[in-house]
């Protein structure tokens, strides 16, 4: 509570804004906030309104539901159509459409979809329902992957034969590298995700600074954190000295969380993986390690089934997650696409850029 009061102090935030103005930067600066929770903070607390107009904040790919490809949903649906299977998932994913249908639509047709708040709930369900096959949909970044890894490990230890993982875990730094290499997107620096950084520490961003000369500041999620992070980045840009800085020292250890990383290395292996809008990103996904293959839900999918990638009609989420356009540049925004009747995942998830712009943008 004490922290909250300090980190939302209006006078302190206004003083930071004054310092940003006093930098007298005369060109537009593009800063990407990688994480959807930062987008939320920026809009929810009205920071956009008080930020000088030369600071252009671009929302990035840090919403796990938004970057999950249609094909993953198609695979989950295929599994859901088998009577014996129960699909356990976090709530947001249920509404996301695959190429033809969504898990919500399949549930209406009788599929067993279990919305859980923790993967341990899914594990418990598997333990108490041995006649069912429980398939947990593992979606998320470095933040959630250690919890999923611990559940997988527990299922193995307990010798559960009816618990499986369909994984679509992704790693943030490789996506940031892809963004740096994309000539259509001009980013001057990154606000790096605090939760992800609590696991991976500072080192992965240091190579981005060195290789691409982009400043990186790890930030907390309170308004003061964010404005301070933007100020630090602007100072770097003004002095043409990109570097790695950690504004979120109260949570992020520079070396990350070695225990969580050890667990990730034990359960998963790093693979090339598809992202919505990005295509295949090298070494950006987590697949189950060979020693946990018996828990991989992919083995339950018939080998001869071909999943086809299709361009989503009318929805520009693929452009939004890369920061190529903002939600208001999508012709469907607010007119046809709303949180009540969303066309794409960016309007579904609470971390989705379109959803946040819709709720707090104006
Ligand atoms: S406004 Fe809707 S249709 Fe447009 S990009 Fe966002 S989610 Fe997709």
Atom number in ligand 1 closest to CA 319:
5
CA of 316 from ligand 1 middle (Å) equals 5
Whether pLDDT at 306 is above 80: no
Indicate the top mutation candidate among 95, 319, 332 to test ligand 1's pocket, ranked by most ligand atoms within 8 A of CB.
Answer: 332
DSSP assignment, residue 312?
Answer: P
User: What whole-number percentage of the chain has pLDDT above 90?
Assistant: 92
Q: In order of start, what are the domains of the chain with their CATH numbers?
A: 1-316 (3.40.50.11740), 317-360 (no CATH)
CA of 358 from ligand 1 middle (Å) equals 10
The per-residue pLDDT for range 235-288, each reduced to its tens digit, is: 999 999 999 999 999 999 999 999 999 999 999 999 999 999 999 999 999 999
The per-residue pLDDT for range 329-348, each reduced to its tens digit, is: 999 999 999 999 999 999 99
Indicate the top mutation candidate among 102, 333, 356, 361 to test ligand 1's pocket, ranked by most ligand atoms within 8 A of CB.
Answer: 333
CA of 105 from ligand 1 middle (Å) equals 20
pLDDT band at 314 (very low <50, low <70, confident <90, very high): confident
pLDDT band at 3 (very low <50, low <70, confident <90, very high): low
> What is the DSSP code string of 66-128?
HHS-HHHHHHHHHHHTSTTEEEEE-GGGGG-B-SS-BHHHHHHTT--EEE-SSHHHHHHHHHH
Whether pLDDT at 1 is above 70: no
pLDDT, average across residues 140-164: 97
Atom number in ligand 1 closest to CA 344:
7
The per-residue pLDDT for range 177-195, each reduced to its tens digit, is: 999 999 999 999 999 999 9
CA of 111 from ligand 1 middle (Å) equals 27
Whether pLDDT at 2 is above 60: no
Q: Does the global pTM surpass 0.75?
A: yes
pLDDT band at 291 (very low <50, low <70, confident <90, very high): very high
CA of 101 from ligand 1 middle (Å) equals 17
pLDDT band at 311 (very low <50, low <70, confident <90, very high): low
* pLDDT at 305 (0 to 100): 75
pLDDT, average across residues 21-40: 95
CA of 345 from ligand 1 middle (Å) equals 8
Instruction: Name the nearest CA neighbour of 67 among 313, 336, 294, 280.
Output: 280
Quote the tokens at residue 62.
């840090």
Atom number in ligand 1 closest to CA 317:
5
Whether pLDDT at 227 is above 70: yes
Atom number in ligand 1 closest to CA 346:
7
Atom number in ligand 1 closest to CA 330:
4
Whether pLDDT at 216 is above 80: yes
Let me know: does 272 contact 244? Beta carbons within 8 Å. Answer: no
CA of 319 from ligand 1 middle (Å) equals 10
């Amino acid at each position: 509570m004490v922290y909250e009061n300090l980190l939302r102090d209006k006078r302190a935030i206004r003083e930071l804004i004054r310092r940003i103005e006093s930098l007298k930067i005369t060109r537009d600066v593009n800063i990407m906030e990688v994480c959807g929770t930062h987008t939320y903070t920026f809009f929810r607390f009205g920071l956009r309104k008080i930020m000088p107009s030369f600071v252009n904040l671009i929302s990035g790919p840090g919403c796990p539901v938004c970057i999950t490809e249609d094909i993953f949903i198609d695979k989950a649906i295929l599994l859901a159509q088998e009577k014996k299977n129960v699909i356990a998932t976090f709530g947001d994913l249920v509404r996301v459409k695959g190429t033809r249908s969504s898990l919500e639509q399949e549930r209406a047709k009788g599929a067993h979809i279990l919305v859980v708040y923790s993967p341990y709930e899914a594990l418990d369900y598997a333990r108490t329902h041995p006649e069912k096959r429980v398939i947990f949909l593992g979606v998320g970044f470095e933040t959630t992957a250690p919890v999923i890894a611990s559940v997988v490990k527990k299922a193995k230890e307990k010798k559960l034969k009816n618990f499986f993982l369909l994984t679509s875990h992704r790693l943030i730094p490789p996506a940031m590298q892809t963004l740096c290499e994309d000539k259509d997107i001009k980013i001057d620096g990154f606000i790096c995700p605090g939760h992800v950084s609590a696991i991976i520490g500072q080192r992965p961003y240091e190579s981005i600074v060195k290789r691409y000369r982009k400043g990186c500041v790890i930030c907390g999620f309170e308004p003061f954190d964010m404005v301070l992070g933007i100020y630090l980045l602007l100072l770097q840009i003004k002095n043409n000295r990109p570097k790695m800085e950690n504004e979120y020292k109260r949570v992020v250890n520079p070396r990350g969380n070695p225990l969580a990383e050890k667990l990730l290395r034990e359960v998963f292996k790093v693979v090339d993986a598809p992202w919505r809008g990005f295509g295949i990103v090298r070494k950006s996904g987590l697949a189950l390690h060979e020693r946990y293959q018996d828990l991989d839900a992919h083995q339950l999918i018939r080998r001869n089934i071909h999943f086809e990638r299709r361009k989503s009609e009318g929805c520009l989420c693929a452009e939004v997650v890369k920061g190529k356009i903002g939600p208001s540049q999508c012709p469907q925004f607010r007119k046809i696409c709303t949180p009540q009747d969303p066309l794409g995942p960016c309007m579904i998830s609470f971390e989705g850029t379109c959803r946040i712009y819709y709720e707090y943008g104006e």
